[in-house]
Every structure is written in structure tokens, then in C-alpha cells.
Structure 1
Amino acid sequence: MFQRFACSRVLILLAGLLLATACTAKSGAVDPYTDGTEYVTLPAPHQRYSSEGKVEVVEVFSYGCIHCAHFAPVADALARQFPKGVEFKLVPAPFSAEWVPFARAFYAAKQLGVLDRTHLALFQAKFEQHYPINSMDELADFYARAGVDRAAFMRAATSTQTTDQMKSDLALIQKWQVDGTPTIVINGKYRVAAVHSYDEMVAVTQWLVKRELAGK
């Protein structure tokens, strides 16, 4: 009788010890990334690009940025990996007079419904095939080669709608404190910051997305 009680008591003590160890390990878990280093929590109130209910991942980019050209196929693959509760968006950054035509080209391509087939192709034409693509006329030539009506492209690119959208997006980019490209912003709440590779940028983005999905 005593031996049975002793064995039961030992088992209870061991179970308690294992539980305590598990709790200690859980409470001592360390996040793989640090706020203020690999990512930054943006000041409240957080402002998303759209009011849709999905977790929003935005890449701020420019067709004039060679780093964006290198990241573009990586971003495209990343966007295809997200679950249904996540939406990937592109926002062009008109950070300089030289980059304004590229922003206008993006909005025009989006309005004309050709963005999906021209986005990566424009990067390739400019940085791999070395076409002279900088001015509005040169951009119009590129889209014409891609089968887009040149006049329709110019009308969309220079329209009041495009100008207003560009100004609105630039104000939002500034609220996100984006000062370089490519930059990833999650839900208007987190900005991926000091990373050392595109793979790390992707990893931090995926980790922040999982946090937001868990929060929802």
C-alpha cells in the first residue's frame, strides 16, 4: 500500500516538474525578430491602403529602382504563397521627378487592366534588356510593344485620376515613414526595416503576417 502511494506521489511530482519546465520554456520563448531592428511598429492610428478585411501586405516600389527589379520575382512568388486571408498590393513611390513617370505608368497599366502581364516585363525590359525607358514617351513605347494602345496609355497616365491617386498614395507612404524601395508594409502597422537579404525580407514579412492572422 505504501509502495503504491509512493510511486503515485513520485509520478505526480515528475508530472508537475515536466509541466513547470514546459511553462518555463514557453514563457522564455524569444521572438526571432526585434521591433526597431528587422521591423518597425508604425505610430498609431495605423492606416491601411484599403478598407478590405484581409491582412494587407504592400510593397512600395519603383520601376526606376534596380533593387526593386531584383526583388520583383521574389515578391511575385511571395504573393502567390499567401493564404486566402492575405492580400498583396503594389504601390509606386514617386520619390523624385525621375520616378514620377514610372508611378504614372503603373496607375495607367492598372486602369487599362494590363498590370499583371506588364509588371515584371517592364523591369526586364529596363534592367535586363537595357531598353531606354525613363520618359513618358519611352514608357508609352514599351506598353505599345506589349500590345497596349499608345494613346489610351498616355491618356490614363496623365489623367487627373492618376495625378490624384499618386498624391494620395505618396501621403500614405510618408505616413508609413518609407524612405527607400523596395519596402514592405503589413496592415499599415508594421514596416519591414533592417534586413540583410531578400530572403530575410520575405521571412520577416511572413512572420508578421502570421502574427496579424493570429490576432484576427
Structure 2
Amino acid sequence: MIKYLARLRLLTLLGGLLLASACTASPETPAPFTEGDQYVTLPAPHERLSPAGKVEVVEVFSYGCVHCAHFAPTAEELRKSLPKGVEFKLLPAPFNDAWMPFARAYYAARQLGVADRTHLALFKAKFDDHYPINTLDELADFYARQGVDRAKFLQIANSDAATAQMKKDFDLLQKWQIDGTPTIVVDGKYRSAHVKTLDELVKLTRWLVDRELAGK
């Protein structure tokens, strides 16, 4: 009888330990995105578009890219919904001669203070309304229709400052190892990679932003 009670106490103790272990065990939830697949961590030192400030979300884009045109309205909603401490920026990609006028146009529009209000309109005019918008002169015509001084636009777009900015941005794109658009870079640290849909790109961006905010 004593042996039975001793065995019973032992089984009860072991059962309690197993129950406590089961209750306290908290296996980590698998990450929804995979390093080296949907995103990559860029090599240090991490270079941002701006040297300091809020967590930075950069969309690398081109007005010559139809996928960027499809993403633009969603990217705008993403920008508006980002939490405090996060800012959304655009970076034009001059990957080839055909895309250089679009990069110059963005620099001019930004300097003239009209980039925000003309961003979606330019995509719409080019890809939905099928305006011939490819050369810098055609871009100047578009901005003139938006109330921008055409001569001033061309002066800024063709300036040495715009050329220098394009070279500086292209150097950064190379450091970020970007070869396509649209691409998202978070804080100069994480870059989107093999995402299958634009919706997945948004979800990845939010997840990387949360990850970066949690680490600060």
C-alpha cells in the first residue's frame, strides 16, 4: 500500500510537471516571410535615402514601369496608413536610357512642389489614357497641363543638379542591389525580393516596418 501511494505521488508530480511544461511552452510563431525569398537583408553598413530620421520606406519606381502604375494607388494607401515614426519616400530608377527622362521629371516635379499631386495623374495619363509620354518634352507637356511652368520644368529637369542627383541615386540603387521595379527598401536594411503579388508586397512592407520599429 505504501509503495502504491509512493508511486501515485510520483505519477501525480510527473503529471503536474508535464502540464506546467505544456502550459508554459510557447514555440515561436513562424515568420510569414522568408529571408532570401520574399526579402533580403542588405549588407552593412546600411545606407538610407536620408541619413537619419524616422523609419524609412522607399519605393523604387519609374513612370515608365506599368507594374509601378498598377502599384501606385495601393502604395498611396500604404503611405497614408503607415504608423507614426515611419515615412514613405519615392526614388526614381534610371535603369536605362528610356527611363532617364522619367527620373529627371520626378526631380523637377519634387523641386517645384507638385510631385505629390501629379504622381498618380502621370501614371493615369500614360497607361490609362495612353498619352504619348516618353520624352522629356512630352513630360513637360504633361506637367504644363497640370499648371506647371513648362520652361521652368525643363530648366530644372535638364540641370546639372538633376544629373548629379540621378547619379547619386543610381549609386544607392546599386548598393541596395536593385534591378527591378517596384521594389521596397525599409530603412536601408531590408529589400523586397521575390514577391508574387502587389498585395504580398504591401504585407511584406508592413511586416518589415513592424520588425524595424520593434528593434528601435
The TM-score, its normalising length taken from structure 1, stands at 0.91
Paired letter, 1:24 = A
- Structure 1 distance, partners of 2:158, 2:103, is 11
Paired letter, 1:20 = S
Please say which structure displays the higher CA radius of gyration: 2
Q: Which residue of 2 aligns with 1:83?
A: 83
Q: Which residue of 2 aligns with 1:178?
A: 178
The 1:19/1:82 distance shift into structure 2, 3 A limit, reads farther
- Structure 1 distance, partners of 2:129, 2:13, is 71
Q: CA deviation at 1:196?
A: 0.8
Q: Deviations over 1:1-45 (max 9, x none)?
A: xxxxx9xxx79965x545533543334x21111100010011111
Identity of counterpart residues, as a percentage? 64
Q: Which residue of 2 aligns with 1:150?
A: 150
Paired letter, 2:64 = G
Q: Which residue of 2 aligns with 1:54?
A: 54
Paired letter, 1:134 = N
- Structure 2 distance, partners of 1:54, 1:147, is 32
The 1:20/1:40 distance shift into structure 2, 3 A limit, reads same
Moved more, 105-114 or 38-47: 38-47
How many residue pairs match? The answer is 208
- Structure 2 distance, partners of 1:177, 1:198, is 20
RMSD: 1.9
Q: Which residue of 2 aligns with 1:163?
A: 163
Instruction: Say which SS state the counterpart of residue 25 (structure 1) adopts.
Output: coil
The 1:18/1:71 distance shift into structure 2, 3 A limit, reads farther
Gaps (5+ residues) in structure 2? 1-7
- Structure 2 distance, partners of 1:175, 1:92, is 15
Q: Which residue of 2 aligns with 1:96?
A: 96
Q: CA deviation at 1:84?
A: 1.5
Q: Deviations over 1:59-117 (max 9, x none)?
A: 00000000000000010000000011101000000000000000000000000000111
The 1:18/1:50 distance shift into structure 2, 3 A limit, reads farther
The 1:11/1:188 distance shift into structure 2, 3 A limit, reads same
The 1:22/1:121 distance shift into structure 2, 3 A limit, reads farther
Q: Which residue of 1 aligns with 2:43?
A: 43
Q: Which residue of 2 aligns with 1:188?
A: 188
Paired letter, 2:59 = E
Gaps (5+ residues) in structure 1? 1-5
The 1:173/1:24 distance shift into structure 2, 3 A limit, reads same
The 1:190/1:149 distance shift into structure 2, 3 A limit, reads same
- Structure 2 distance, partners of 1:57, 1:90, is 9
Q: Which residue of 2 aligns with 1:198?
A: 198
Show the 5 A alignment for 1:67-82. Answer: 67-82=67-82
Instruction: Say which SS state the counterpart of residue 151 (structure 2) adopts.
Output: helix
Q: Which residue of 1 aligns with 2:21?
A: 20
Paired letter, 1:114 = V
Q: After the TM superposition, which segments of 4 or more aligned residues of structure 1 sit over 3 Å from their partners?
A: 10-14, 16-19
The 1:167/1:18 distance shift into structure 2, 3 A limit, reads farther
- Structure 1 distance, partners of 2:189, 2:149, is 39
The 1:26/1:141 distance shift into structure 2, 3 A limit, reads same
- Structure 1 distance, partners of 2:141, 2:118, is 13
